[in-house]
Amino acid sequence: MAGKNRLGDILVSRNLINQQDLELALKEQKEKGGFLGQILVNKGLVSSTDISRALQQLSSQITEISEFGQMLVSERTISEEQLNKALERQKSTKQGLDDILVELGWVTAQQIAQTFSRYLDIPFINLSEYDIKIEILQLLPENIIRRYQIIPVKLEQNTLYVATADPLNLIALDEIRLIAKYKISPMIATCKEILGIIERYFNLQQMTKQMLSDIRLDKATDENSISRFVDTIIQAGVNSRASDIHLEPQYPEMRARFRIDGILHDIITIPKSVEASLISRVKVLADMDITEHRRPQDGHVSLKLNEKEYDLRVASTSTIAGEKIVIRILDKTGMLLGLNELGLSAEDQKVFASLISRPYGIILVTGPTGSGKTTTLYAVLSQLDTLSKNIITIEDPVEYKLEGINQVQVNPLAEITFATGLRSMLRQDPDIIMVGEIRDLETATIAIHAALTGHLVLSTLHTNDAPSAITRMIDMGVEPFLVSSSLIGVVAQRLVRIICPECKEEFTPDQKQIKELGLEGRKEKISFYRGKGCQYCMQTTYRGRSGVFEIMKVSDKIRDLILQKQPASKIRDVAISEGMALLKDAAVNKVIHGITTAEEIKRVIFTLET
């Protein structure tokens, strides 16, 4: 609780309050929570200006004197040596210590904010994981939120909690208190996250307001306005990289929420009066029955936005408050890539091209759900000669219609499974077959027979690395000699986020980061890259994703190992000796080449190992 005393001590030392006042205020803070400075102001003991000056003194200690730095050292966030270097640099640059440490890449803005939070005894809030209710955001006018970069986050018993990167700006907090007419309690967030929220919520809000006033003003153009409004919502979803848009009828108003990077965010509320026409418009777009309100329906629509094709899957369900719509946004151009756009290294591209030019055999793409396997298979299919070759796919579901290719959808009701579909496909005289996934022995057996009778077969499996695909098939019950004679290659893959090109910067990693990636043996200087956060990436520092690959060609040596039922580890060793790069190494390469960050590959790839 040192933070409380720091501010309190300054006030006492300046004779603004006495020790007894301080203790009473601290007691109140303990009971009711809140910010000590505000409690003292509320009690009429000091003015906001006094608090502001005291906090300024405190903040100069934080950034100029090494006390804050010592705190980072004692919490083992940085080393003593790093602190000294930063302090040395501060002498010439006159920047704040926090800025210098972030710039040098030794700490993240989030770590600074968290330490800051402990130092001042003001709680920290991770805004990217916090769903702020729209009605809370509306407690402050937009111009105030933008001017002070302060976000209202929750209201509890007459206290409005606000997120700010600068809790020492008491003038701002005081003004907000007067406007909102609540007690204000600050919480610390990073500047980047605050700007991200402002970007995400207010742009759409402004547009919504404009649209809704149009709708009310001119009844005659209602239909046009509604359709423009729907376009605006979808456009905003696309702009904020949402994977899903939820349109939820609720009382008293409808609300729209976006799922961004896996988390649902409240975006706008929509008056009940436009709800019915809004839902109808979406259903018309998606070719759904607008007279049917109870039965759940699915629809789909292709849209061109910002010169890009998007596929929208629309699903409706009836809830007690009305019909709810979920729009899933699939990025068509992101889905249909050429082989050279997947993120393969030049060497891997050659290996891949040689595999798919083979007349027959099985190629497997492996990885967990969401690792980009389908995108890779589509890239392969689009590369193949669709005019002179008969290409048939069986998928669950068919994600995109590919030109010149016969696609069949798995449909248990019509008794089309991967196995039965594949069997009937073989009677269609195909050259190349794509099977969405091999899940069972029956499908595996038919796929192998197809490969052995002169077809090129492409499919996917759920395994973590390439060599394990072999042991997985044998575990399914496939005879080793069938695997060894049909399998020609396995491609394991993951997706990592690409650093935003607009705000990308280079930095020198420290020894710990170098060691984590196994790069300590290198003689040459190593640079890493990271995003700073900008408008283009909505302050997320990333934009788009790239594949990381481990490609194993099944050689004569590996074929022998399969026949001998050798474990995956043995097969892996031989594959490495024959030139296969492990997923991990391919990922580290992407860090060195500045495509992604060390954090990202640790999140996506290293966690899956061991």
Q: Which residues bind Zn ion (CB under 5 A)?
A: 500, 502-503, 531, 534, 536-537
- Give least dist CB 205 to Zn ion, A: 22
How does DSSP assign 363-421, residue by residue? EEEE-STTSSHHHHHHHHHHHS-TTTS-EEEEESS--S--TT-EEEE-BGGGTB-HHHH
CB of 546 to Zn ion, least distance (A): 16
Minimum gap (Å) between residue 241 Cβ and Zn ion:
12
Write down the least CB distance from residue 195 to Zn ion, Å: 11
Hunting for tokens 């575990």 — which residue is that?
475
In the complex with Zn ion, which residue's Cβ is closer, 500 or 601?
500
Query: Is-cis flag, bond preceding 480, omega within 30?
Result: no
- Nearer residue to Zn ion within complex by CB, 53 or 532: 532
Tell me which amino acid residue 96 is.
Answer: G
Is 595 strand, coil or helix? coil
Give the span between the Cα atoms of 269 and 271, in whole angstroms: 7
DSSP reduced 3-state for 251: coil
Report the residue number, 148 or 542, with the smaller CB distance to Zn ion.
542
Tell me the closest approach of the beta carbon of residue 539 to Zn ion, in angstroms.
7
Of the pair 200, 373, the CB lying nearest Zn ion is at 200
Nearer to Zn ion, 246 or 504 (CB): 504
CA distances from 273 to 223, 233, 269, 278, 375 (A): 14, 17, 12, 9, 42
CA atoms within 13 A on the CB side of 48: 12
Q: Which is nearer to Zn ion, 195 or 236 (CB)?
A: 195
| Nearest distance in Å: CB 537, Zn ion | 3
Q: Closer to Zn ion by CB, 481 or 536: give it.
A: 536
Closest contact distance (angstroms) between CB of 264 and Zn ion is: 23
From residue 201, give the alpha-carbon distance in Å to each of 110, 151, 186, 207, 246.
22, 11, 20, 10, 15
Q: Are 307 and 237 in contact (CB under 8 A)?
A: no
**Minimum Å distance from CB 209 to Zn ion?**
28
- The least CB distance from residue 501 to Zn ion, in Å, is 8
- Looking at beta carbons only, is 530 or 590 nearer to Zn ion? 530
Q: How far is the CB of 159 from Zn ion (least distance, A)?
A: 35
**Residue with Cβ nearer Zn ion (322 or 533):** 533
The smaller minimum CB distance to Zn ion, of residues 29 and 541, is found at: 541
At residue 55's C-alpha, the angle toward residues 54 and 59, to 5°, is 125
The one-letter amino acid code at 369 reads: T
Beta strand 242-248 with 254-260: parallel, antiparallel or unpaired? antiparallel
Q: Give the position of tokens 């040192």.
A: 2
Residue closer to Zn ion, measured from CB, 537 or 586: 537
User: Is the CB of 457 or the CB of 538 nearer to Zn ion?
Assistant: 538
Shortest Cβ 505–Zn ion spacing (Å) = 10
Residue 543 to residue 228: CA distance in whole angstroms = 27
Closest approach, Cβ 221 to Zn ion, in A, equals 38
CA angle (35 as vertex; 29, 41 as ends), nearest 5: 95
Our CB check for Zn ion shows the closer of 505 and 520 to be 505
Contacts of residues 170-173 at CB distance under 8 Å and 24 or more positions apart, as own/partner, are 170/37, 170/48, 170/51, 170/52, 170/55, 171/48, 171/52, 172/148, 173/35, 173/38
Shortest spacing between CB 128 and Zn ion, in angstroms: 15
> CA of 14: how far to CAs of 24, 51, 53, 55, 61, in Å?
18, 11, 11, 12, 16
Give me the helix-helix angle, 346-356 and 373-383, nearest 10°: 60
Burial annotation 578-608 (CB, 10 A radius, 16+ → b, else e): eebbbbbebbbebbeebbbbbebbeebbbee
> Judged by CB, which is closer to Zn ion: 440, or 502?
502
CA distances in angstroms from 38 to 28, 35, 55, 186, 306, listed in the order given: 11, 5, 12, 10, 48
Position with the least CB separation from Zn ion: 500
Cα separation, 527 vs 508, in Å, equals: 5
Least distance in Å: CB of 526 to Zn ion? 23
Place of tokens 């193949």: 384
Q: Of the candidates 179, 81, 196, 65, which has an alpha carbon nearest to the alpha carbon of residue 127? A: 196
How many Å from the N-terminal Cα to the C-terminal Cα in the chain? 40
